[in-house]
Amino acid sequence: MSHYAMNYETLQRLIRSISMSKDPEEVALMTVEGIKSALGAKGCVLFLLNDKTHEFEIAAAYGLSREYLEKGPISALRSIAQSPEAGPVAIYDVGDDPRIQYPEAASKEGIVSILAVPIGIHGKLIGTLRVYTADHWEFTLNDINLVQALAQIAGMSIDMCRLLKGYKQSIEILKEMRDPKTIKPGKKTPHEGVPVNV
Q: Which has more confidence, 151 or 14?
A: 151
Q: Full-prediction pTM beyond 0.85?
A: no
* Residue 72 reports pLDDT greater than 70: yes
Q: Which has more confidence, 17 or 113?
A: 113
- pLDDT tens-digit profile of 97-120? 888 889 899 999 999 999 999 998
Q: Report how far Cα 151 is from the mean position of its chain's Cα atoms.
A: 8
| All structural domains of the chain | 8-178 (3.30.450.40)
Q: Tell me the backbone φ, ψ of residue 69, rounded to 5 degrees.
A: -65, -25
Q: Which of 27-31, 134-138, 167-171 has the lowest mean pLDDT?
A: 167-171
Task: Give the whole-angstrom CA distance, residue 98 versus residue 23.
Answer: 36
Please, which residues have CB within 8 angstroms of residue 6's CB and are 6 or more apart in sequence?
A: 38, 142, 146
